[in-house]
Amino acid sequence: MARQHSRTAHGRLTAPLAIDIARLGRRPGAMFTVQDTVDSPTRIGVELIAIQRGAPLALDLRVESVSEGVLVTGTVTAPTTGECSRCLTAIQGRVQVALTELFAYPGSTTAATTEEDEVGHVVDEKIDLEQSIIDAVGLELPFSPVCRPDCPGLCPQCGVVLDTDPDHHHDQIDPRWAKLADIVTAQRPDAADRGER
Identify which of residues 160 and 184 has a Cβ nearer to Zn ion in the complex. 160
The helix/strand/coil state of 154 is strand
**Of 50, 72, 86, 128, the one binding Zn ion by CB under 5 A:** 86
Closest CA to 93 of 106, 78, 105, 73: 78
Least distance CB 166 / Zn ion (angstroms): 12
Is residue 29 packed enough to be buried (19+ CB in 10 Å), middle (13-18) or exposed (0-12)? exposed
Closest CA to 21 of 68, 70, 59: 70
**Bridging pattern class, strands 120-121 and 90-104:** parallel
Residue 161 binds to Zn ion (criterion: CB under 5 A): no
Residue 158 binds to Zn ion (criterion: CB under 5 A): yes
Identify which of residues 26 and 168 has a Cβ nearer to Zn ion in the complex. 168
**Of 49, 70, 78, 87, the one binding Zn ion by CB under 5 A:** 87
Residues that contact Zn ion, how many (by CB under 5 A):
9
**Of 35, 100, 144, 157, the one binding Zn ion by CB under 5 A:** 157
Residue 144 binds to Zn ion (criterion: CB under 5 A): no
